[in-house]
């Protein structure tokens, strides 16, 4: 019998590069077989960042970047298959999220744009590609995000224990997995996005390794209070957000010019941990176990502060459940592609606000 193999590709708001995961769906619980990563170069990162803001000749620039991204996605697939020893003919489909450059979930003008030429990716790899996962949910009245909570339930749901999965990418999102009742998920605010941007501006690095620079500063209480008063944090779920809202310009609008850069970084780290912890305590006070994934899960200072903010709960990485925290989202898009190919819904209406379950994604047959 032919093995059911899929590839998931994710390039997130952190703009660090492309994650790819090779996944088998031969059993009731999908298994991660192989992973591969290709970084973005500085030029690509700069161009993608620029498209998050209004600028000159956006349509042309976006089309060229979509093609460039698809070639990088194809290179990532090639590297993944070479490292696994599996040929492309064995892969049922690729689930490719694309690179988000705009996310506007407001009901009266909702849309979400992910760059990536899925037709070109299918041509380059010879593999069927599933893309554009958010549009159908948005068409059904949802926000198109977050999409991973249904997958979290498949991988991490427990029959007796209330678990929380916190993905700390550019944006942080929370999934509540109770033993009974509705799965709930939403974006709770910035994860790494502001810290990364501030670090790049003042340290020249794309991220603050292990929160070491933040550790040299002190939290600015008044600045933190001003951040936390921002209306998004008091919105009720369902809610989602992105770089359009939490940008470097958003950050600068709160600064007076006399703050030490390391103190701002410390305050941004505190903002991320505080908004995650507050959301858990407010909406899921009965939760027993909290598991972290995404790039922020590797920030030791951030994790330590989260543990301090949630002292009566177990806080750990998804690694302890057998799935490396770095690969959850790429894994999720392989699962979403599998759902699409098998004509099964991929969204959770209670999470996104859609009018019902929908089959997500557009299929580009090889």
Q: What angle do CA 197, 201, 204 make, to 5 degrees?
A: 105
Residue corresponding to tokens 């379950």: 357
Residues 336, 245 share a domain: no
**Per-residue confidence (pLDDT) for residue 178, from 0 to 100:** 97
Residues 339, 223 share a domain: no
Is residue 24 within a helix (H) or strand (E), and if so which, with residue range? strand 17-24
Residues 63, 49 share a domain: yes
Give residues with Cβ within 8 angstroms of 112, minimum separation 6: 100, 102, 103, 104, 105, 134, 135, 138, 144, 145
Q: 41: which DSSP letter?
A: P
Q: Given strand 184-190, what is the order of strands in its sheet?
A: 184-190, 171-177, 163-168, 289-293, 314-317
Residues 260, 185 share a domain: yes
Residues 99, 43 share a domain: yes
Report the CATH number that the domain containing residue 291 is assigned in CATH: 3.30.420.40
**Per-residue confidence (pLDDT) for residue 43, from 0 to 100:** 93
Q: Computed from CA positions of residues 73, 76, 81, 87, in that sequence, does the dihedral angle turn out positive or negative?
A: positive
**Per-residue confidence (pLDDT) for residue 1, from 0 to 100:** 40
Convert the pLDDT of each residue in 273-282 to its tens digit.
Answer: 999 999 999 9
Residues 81, 40 share a domain: yes
What is the number of structural domains in the chain?
2
Give residues with Cβ within 8 angstroms of 304, minimum separation 6: none
Q: What is the DSSP string of 196-262?
A: HHHHHHHHSSSS-GGGTTGGGS---HHHHHHHHTSGGGGPPSS----TTTS-HHHHHTT--S-S-HH
Q: Computed from CA positions of residues 293, 296, 302, 306, in that sequence, does the dihedral angle turn out positive or negative?
A: negative
Q: What angle do CA 46, 50, 54 make, to 5 degrees?
A: 175
Residues 309, 180 share a domain: yes
For the chain, residues with pLDDT lower than 50 are: 1
| Alpha-carbon distances of 39 from 80, 84, 134, 177, rounded to whole Å | 14, 19, 24, 32
Residues 128, 116 share a domain: yes
Residues 309, 333 share a domain: no
The residue range of the domain holding 68 is: 5-145+328-364
Is residue 307 within a helix (H) or strand (E), and if so which, with residue range? helix 300-309
**Per-residue confidence (pLDDT) for residue 2, from 0 to 100:** 53
- The contacts found for 298-303 with CB under 8 angstroms, 24 or more apart, are 298/210, 298/325, 298/326, 299/168, 299/192, 299/208, 299/210, 299/211, 299/269, 300/210, 300/211, 301/210, 301/211, 301/212, 301/214, 301/215, 301/269, 302/168, 302/211, 302/269, 302/272, 302/273
Convert the pLDDT of each residue in 86-108 to its tens digit.
Answer: 999 999 999 999 999 989 888 88
Residues 337, 295 share a domain: no
Residues 137, 158 share a domain: no
CA 16 to chain CA centroid, Å, is 12
**Per-residue confidence (pLDDT) for residue 107, from 0 to 100:** 83
What's this model's pTM, rounded to 2 decimal places?
Answer: 0.95
Residues 78, 177 share a domain: no
Convert the pLDDT of each residue in 121-175 to its tens digit.
Answer: 999 999 999 999 999 999 999 999 999 999 999 999 999 999 999 999 999 999 9
Dihedral of the alpha carbons of 119, 11, 112, 357, in degrees to the nearest 10: 80
């Amino acid at each position: 019998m032919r093995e059911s193999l899929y590839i998931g590709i994710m390039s997130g708001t952190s703009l660090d590069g492309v994650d790819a995961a090779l996944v088998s769906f031969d059993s009731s619980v999908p298994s991660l077989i192989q992973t591969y990563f290709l970084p973005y170069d500085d030029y690509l990162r700069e161009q993608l960042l620029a498209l998050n803001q209004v600028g000159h000749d956006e349509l042309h620039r976006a089309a060229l970047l979509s093609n460039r991204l698809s070639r990088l996605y194809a290179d990532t697939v090639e590297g993944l298959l070479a490292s696994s020893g599996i040929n492309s003919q064995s892969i049922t489909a690729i689930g490719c999220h694309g690179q988000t450059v705009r996310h506007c979930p407001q009901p009266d003008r909702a849309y979400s744009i992910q760059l990536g030429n899925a037709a070109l990716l299918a041509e380059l790899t010879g593999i069927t590609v599933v893309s554009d996962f958010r549009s159908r949910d948005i068409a059904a009245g949802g926000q198109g995000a977050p999409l991973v909570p249904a997958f979290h339930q498949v991988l991490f749901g427990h029959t007796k224990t209330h678990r929380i999965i916190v993905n700390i990418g550019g944006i942080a999102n929370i999934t509540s997995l109770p033993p009974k009742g509705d799965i709930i998920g939403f974006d709770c605010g910035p994860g790494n996005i502001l810290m990364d941007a501030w670090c790049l501006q003042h340290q020249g690095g794309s991220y603050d390794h292990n929160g070491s620079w933040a550790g040299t500063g002190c939290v600015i209480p008044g600045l933190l209070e001003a951040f936390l008063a921002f209306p998004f944090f008091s919105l009720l779920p369902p809610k989602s957000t992105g770089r359009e809202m939490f940008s470097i310009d958003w950050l600068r609008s709160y600064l007076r010019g006399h703050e030490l850069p390391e103190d701002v970084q410390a305050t941004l780290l505190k903002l991320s941990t505080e908004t995650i912890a507050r959301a858990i305590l407010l909406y899921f006070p009965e939760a027993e176990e909290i598991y972290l994934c995404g790039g922020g899960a590797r920030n030791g200072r951030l994790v330590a502060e989260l543990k301090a903010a949630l002292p009566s709960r177990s806080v750990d990485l998804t690694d302890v459940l057998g799935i490396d925290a770095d690969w959850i989202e790429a894994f999720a898009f392989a699962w979403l592609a599998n759902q699409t190919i098998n004509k099964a819904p991929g969204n959770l209406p209670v999470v996104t606000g859609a009018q019902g379950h929908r089959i997500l994604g557009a299929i580009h047959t090889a």
